[in-house]
Amino acid sequence: MLEILSLIRQDGDPEWCRSVPNWDRGPWLETLLGYRRAKGNARPRIISSHLPVHMFPRAAFSSKAKV
């Protein structure tokens, strides 16, 4: 899924996918390092998570974020 979203974000150009590691393109939200990287990434951000959906903040579902 991360590869597909990365390609969509870059309009199909695979160079970004080849040059930027997965953990930088879609950091895990549930780790402190991942959270910090996600905050520093340019918008639109890609964020990965293995959290159950009921543990996400309600604001994530009422915002413009795609979940």
Which residues have a catalytic role annotated? 50
Q: Name residues whose C-beta falls within 8 Å of residue 28's C-beta, 6 or more positions apart in sequence.
A: 34, 47, 48, 49, 50
Q: Which is nearest to 64 in space by CA: 38, 45, 42, 39? A: 45
